[in-house]
Structure 1
Amino acid sequence: MASPSRVPKEVPGSYGFPYVSAIRDRLDFYYNQGQDKYFESRVEKYGSTVVRINVPPGPFMAHDPRVVAVLDAKSFPVLFDVTKVEKKDLFTGTYMPSTSLTGGYRVCSYLDPSEPTHAKVKQMLFSLLASRKDAFIPAFRTHFSSLLATVESQLVLSGKSDFNALNDATSFEFIGDAYFGVLPSASELGTTGPTKAAKWLIWQLHPLVTLGLPKILEEPLLHSFHLPPFLVSGDYKALHKYFSAAATKALDTAETLGLNREEACHNLLFATVFNSYGGLKVLLPGILSRIAGAGEKFHQRLATEIRAAVEDAGGKVTMAALEKMELTKSAVWEALRLDPPVKFQYGRAKTDLEIESHDAVFAVKKGEMLFGYQPCATKDPRVFGATAAEFVGDRFVGEEGSKLLQYVYWSNGRETESPSVGNKQCPGKNLVVLVGRLLVVELFLRYDTFTAGVGTDLLGTKVEFSAVTKATSGPEAVSNQQH
């Protein structure tokens, strides 16, 4: 591959007319073209993977929709470099939800690493994850084994089972159990937790989603003005009450780190409900849909690997057993490559920068907003070849496959790098991959194969089981025979 010229070029593209062009582009993004085509068409039009474009939500709600978009695997990582870009108040992009939705605090996701509270909150999260590391596998297996039993019952009754609906409830219970050892359903929340959490999430993300309503309704309702926070204040107070009681150990730790207990609680709520729960609402259906589409032969390969590793571990699912499942890990990474839970990243240039794509070097001025649409970068054919847009479950297997992991960016960093208090990489990066692998393990300890229909919902992929084939070998097969 030829090296690009080192002489910086002007970034191509156009923002058009103020307000009018931004609204037109927003309509293209949501309705006329859709996200992928919106960015692909601009790359094609300007002959460059670094372009000037408008991004939603645009005028009125946003301060400024104009960005420099980095849309290939080589230019995208500038967004991870906190020596070059500032991350203050950019988690959701060119707009920021009201802090009334987070107890009046700017929580960690909106803090730049240069702000002192950032390191304290992130260290609190690292401490929580470390203290609960032994709880994750048994909690997941308990809750998701029950979910799959419900899937089987629903298939018998109606011939279909909505995974997303079951996952929403199960993931909320699992997270409370795994993180704090306190089931949300056993608290005053009862079974209302997932509904309250989802409503609160929508209030923050509504400028970036569509509900399938006519655009004449959605545009003014969702994409032009902030929904008033007071409409979800009761839901948030109920969630906060649960965290105040359930997370006492984590909050004690936060105080030793110099954090105000109340600020720590709001941060913990956000990290747990927005980042973890919101992430699992997107992550697990995404993985399931890709595995379902890979077909029976690939299912057989997964089942063989998983059952052999568990058998070698004395019939138990352990971390050591999971580490032996190379194909399973690869399949999860491949799903994360194709369907990252968070598709957009942002950063504001701290100084005048030179950004390098595969083909050129571009000059960016201090203060300009940089934007990355991750699927363009992680489906870059210059890195992943002719199958870049396809699910190849064993893509990351072996020495050559492992070299490609540096181009998996779902965690707001490279998969080959680790989160720290000084960067913006997801503190739960390793836990997310673990949970994805555990889902695949549960499936293929229990089933030889399965089929499912795939569609879309508010936040991403929707999956509906249509059939499962019970395991004919391995520990679950023995259980099946006994029953």
Structure 2
Amino acid sequence: MRQVPGSYGPPLLKTLFDTVDFLVVSGWEEFFARRRRRHGSTVFRVNLFKPTVAVLDQTGIGALFGDADLIQDYGFGWAVPPLPLVGGVPPSIFGSGEAHDGPKRLYLRLLARRAERLEAVFAETFAEVAARWRAAPGFSFADGIEDLVATFVGRWLIGAALDPADIRLVYNHIFTQRLTAVTQWLPWSNYARSRLAYGRLLAAVRGAPDFPEIAAMAAEEGLPDPEVVAKQLTFLIGMNSFLGLQNLLKSLVGEFALHPAWQEEVRREAAAQAGRGATPVLDRVIRETLRLHPPVFFVFGRATRDRVLDTESGSFAIRRGELVMGVIPFAQNDPAHVPRPERFDPDRFLDPATGGRPLIWPRGLETATVAARDRTCPGKDAAFATARLFCTALLRDHAWSLAAPPAWDRHRFSLNVAAPKGSLTVERFVRKEQTG
């Protein structure tokens, strides 16, 4: 057993140094890469906002979604949403025990009940949005995808479209609100406007046609208070569903724009399959996009006892109370397991030696069967199915091009860092039969 390399102190100075280095000087990618080189280890101590053990390999990260004695704090480690933006009810994703498991049982039941209508609701929503895209002389794919996702998820889960502008305002900034004791009194501030938008979203969830059915299901799972259920659902739609799904769809657009040959491969497959189900080429493209650009970057757990963490760099002593942070992009781009990890190569998944390791983009293994007690995203399979529907509709029926090649931010961290930078301006979007 090894001691974790690195240091947490001196407390204030080291916190300031590491946080500024992460946010401004080195940026998120080089921050972790430099320390991995310095310590010769995928596990090391940092003082990023607070003392943290960083883990950069898949074996070590597995404990964070598989071990009951690494529990979730309120917030994602050091990213804490203001309580007024979650209705004063800590979202279940931050809970442990029944505070986490009860709502997750509800989500799993809800997803199972909504599964049969996913394709129809997505097709209806995409048709409406695509008509607007075709009519526009040019538009932002980034904004368009956010509008598509916000509208689709609300319709699918609760039977009501939520305002994309309100979802964008609240959840794109939910972890970056600062000086809220002051900004709450400034009507023009982002925080004050977000609080108003949250109230509108919560009211829309409460008033949705499907909410009485969901509240009845929740009561059967030990969640008798409809107000609490509405607040949990609002966070589920805005944070878990909207942010993750729109990041994935933007990244797919970006990779297709950079690799037109893969566009044609997917188009040919879609035409040949004609709705018969299997999409092996498209599935490899989606998996490679998730490998390179996982929508979730970090997964956290706080140790409830002294324990040993087994990793690819050895076994390390973790003390009771220590915060452990898994850095997913590094685990999925490790050249020891993924040859030429920077290259977009969906065919790597055809070779078990280079593509056989399951991805961990949904805060758990992509191949796992989700259970209420684990940390794996309950909507991971629905997200993958939605990505299939999006790519098929986009490429089979439309031709499009971006005004400039997309690029991903390897420096500045944000909630949208998994997606390409900027607006993704579209200069052409037409029906396929118009291309000739």
TM-score (norm 2): 0.88
Equivalent residue in structure 2 for 1:41, among 24, 34, 46: 34
- CA separation of 1:264/1:31 partners in 2, compared to 1, >3 Å: closer, same or farther? same
1:171 Cα deviation after fit: 1.6
1:409 corresponds to which residue? 360
Tell me if 1:107 matches 2:91: yes
Question: Within 1, Cα distance between the matches of 2:347 and 2:430?
Answer: 23
- CA separation of 1:225/1:86 partners in 2, compared to 1, >3 Å: closer, same or farther? farther
The question of whether the paired residues in 1 share the 8 Å contact of 2:266 and 2:395 is answered with yes
The question of whether the paired residues in 2 share the 8 Å contact of 1:97 and 1:226 is answered with no
- 339-348 vs 195-204, which deviates more? 195-204
1:145 Cα deviation after fit: 3.1
1:194 Cα deviation after fit: 1.9
2:144 corresponds to which residue? 166
The question of whether the paired residues in 1 share the 8 Å contact of 2:61 and 2:326 is answered with yes
Cα offsets for 1:349-408 (capped at 9, x unmatched): 2322222332322221122110111111111111112x212221233246667622x2x1
Question: Within 2, Cα distance between the matches of 1:361 and 1:399?
Answer: 27
Question: Within 1, Cα distance between the matches of 2:18 and 2:122?
Answer: 42
The question of whether the paired residues in 1 share the 8 Å contact of 2:43 and 2:313 is answered with no
Equivalent residue in structure 2 for 1:369, among 313, 323, 327: 323
Percent of residue pairs identical: 24
Equivalent residue in structure 2 for 1:132, among 96, 101, 114: 114
Trace 1:236-251 onto structure 2 (pairs within 5 A): 236-246=198-208, 247-251=211-215
The question of whether the paired residues in 1 share the 8 Å contact of 2:338 and 2:354 is answered with no
**Structure 1 residue matching 2:313: 3-state secondary structure:** coil
Q: Which amino acid aligns with 1:235?
A: A
1:469 Cα deviation after fit: 7.3
- CA separation of 1:178/1:398 partners in 2, compared to 1, >3 Å: closer, same or farther? farther
1:84 Cα deviation after fit: 3.5
Question: Within 1, Cα distance between the matches of 2:182 and 2:317?
Answer: 34
1:182 corresponds to which residue? 160
The number of equivalent residue pairs is 417
Cα offsets for 1:398-424 (capped at 9, x unmatched): 6667622x2x11101011112211111
Question: Within 1, Cα distance between the matches of 2:247 and 2:253?
Answer: 10
Q: Which amino acid aligns with 1:241?
A: A
Q: Which amino acid aligns with 1:444?
A: L
Trace 1:77-476 onto structure 2 (pairs within 5 A): 77-89=62-74, 91-112=75-96, 114=97, 116-154=98-136, 157=137, 160-184=138-162, 193-206=163-176, 228=184, 232-246=194-208, 247-259=211-223, 260-294=225-259, 296-310=260-274, 317=275, 321-322=276-277, 324-385=278-339, 387-397=340-350, 403-404=356-357, 406=358, 408-447=359-398, 450-451=401-402, 453-455=405-407, 459-460=416-417, 461=420, 462=422, 463-467=424-428, 471=432
- CA separation of 1:383/1:227 partners in 2, compared to 1, >3 Å: closer, same or farther? farther
The question of whether the paired residues in 2 share the 8 Å contact of 1:52 and 1:68 is answered with yes
The question of whether the paired residues in 2 share the 8 Å contact of 1:97 and 1:204 is answered with yes
Question: Within 1, Cα distance between the matches of 2:325 and 2:217?
Answer: 35
Q: Which amino acid aligns with 2:43?
A: V
Question: Within 1, Cα distance between the matches of 2:214 and 2:362?
Answer: 23
Question: Within 1, Cα distance between the matches of 2:426 and 2:352?
Answer: 35
- CA separation of 1:206/1:111 partners in 2, compared to 1, >3 Å: closer, same or farther? same
Question: Within 1, Cα distance between the matches of 2:345 and 2:182?
Answer: 40
1:308 Cα deviation after fit: 0.9
Question: Within 1, Cα distance between the matches of 2:182 and 2:371?
Answer: 33
The question of whether the paired residues in 2 share the 8 Å contact of 1:79 and 1:347 is answered with yes
Trace 1:16-55 onto structure 2 (pairs within 5 A): 16-55=9-48
Q: Which amino acid aligns with 2:206?
A: S
Question: Within 2, Cα distance between the matches of 1:226 and 1:419?
Answer: 42
Question: Within 2, Cα distance between the matches of 1:447 and 1:336?
Answer: 23
The question of whether the paired residues in 2 share the 8 Å contact of 1:453 and 1:466 is answered with no
**Structure 2 residue matching 1:424: 3-state secondary structure:** coil
Unaligned runs of 5+ in 1: 1-7, 59-64, 185-192, 208-220, 311-316, 472-476
1:257 Cα deviation after fit: 2.0
2:59 corresponds to which residue? 74
Cα offsets for 1:211-260 (capped at 9, x unmatched): xxxxxxxxxx58x9996465533221111111011122111211222212
- CA separation of 1:32/1:449 partners in 2, compared to 1, >3 Å: closer, same or farther? same
1:99 Cα deviation after fit: 2.5
Cα offsets for 1:7-31 (capped at 9, x unmatched): x111111224221221122121111
**Structure 2 residue matching 1:418: 3-state secondary structure:** coil
Task: Give the alignment's Cα RMSD to 1 decimal.
Answer: 2.5
Question: Within 2, Cα distance between the matches of 1:346 and 1:403?
Answer: 25
Question: Within 2, Cα distance between the matches of 1:281 and 1:301?
Answer: 23
Q: Which amino acid aligns with 1:177?
A: R
